[in-house]
Amino acid sequence: MAFKLVLACPRHPKYDPRKGLDAIVGGCPNCFALVDLALDVERVKRKMEQRMFTSLKDLERHEQKQAEKVLETARRVVRKVREGEELELDEQRLLNSI
């Protein structure tokens, strides 16, 4: 679900907090509060993005580790088959899945 929250000063409904403090007319406290709020919203957004980015990186690392594990087992299987050694259960399973 997505929703949009529109905040505006009742006295200056056209004031956009992205214009910054210099664009505030007559030191209006509502408009000042809007700028603060907009900055908070930006901070929260950035934090959420960072968190998403971090978990994506974690996932990538996890997948890479899994792939390395499979590759390592595969190498061991190849060597063991070549040398006529007996395979462990997980190695047999890997061989069967190929």
Q: From the CB of 16, what's the least distance to Zn ion, in Å?
A: 11
The DSSP code for 17 is G
51: its two tokens: 């968190």
- Which residue among 18, 21, 30, 91 contacts Zn ion (CB under 5 A)? 30
Among 14, 23, 28, 89, indicate the residue that binds Zn ion (CB under 5 A).
Answer: 28
Nearer to Zn ion, 24 or 77 (CB): 24
Q: What are phi and psi of 59, to 5 degrees?
A: -60, -45
Phi and psi at residue 12, in whole multiples of 5°?
A: -130, 70
The verdict on 19 binding Zn ion (CB under 5 A) reads: no
CA-to-CA distance for 22 and 16, rounded, in angstroms? Answer: 11
Number of residues this chain uses to bind Zn ion (CB under 5 A):
6
Q: Considering beta carbons, is residue 1 or 5 the nearer one to Zn ion?
A: 5
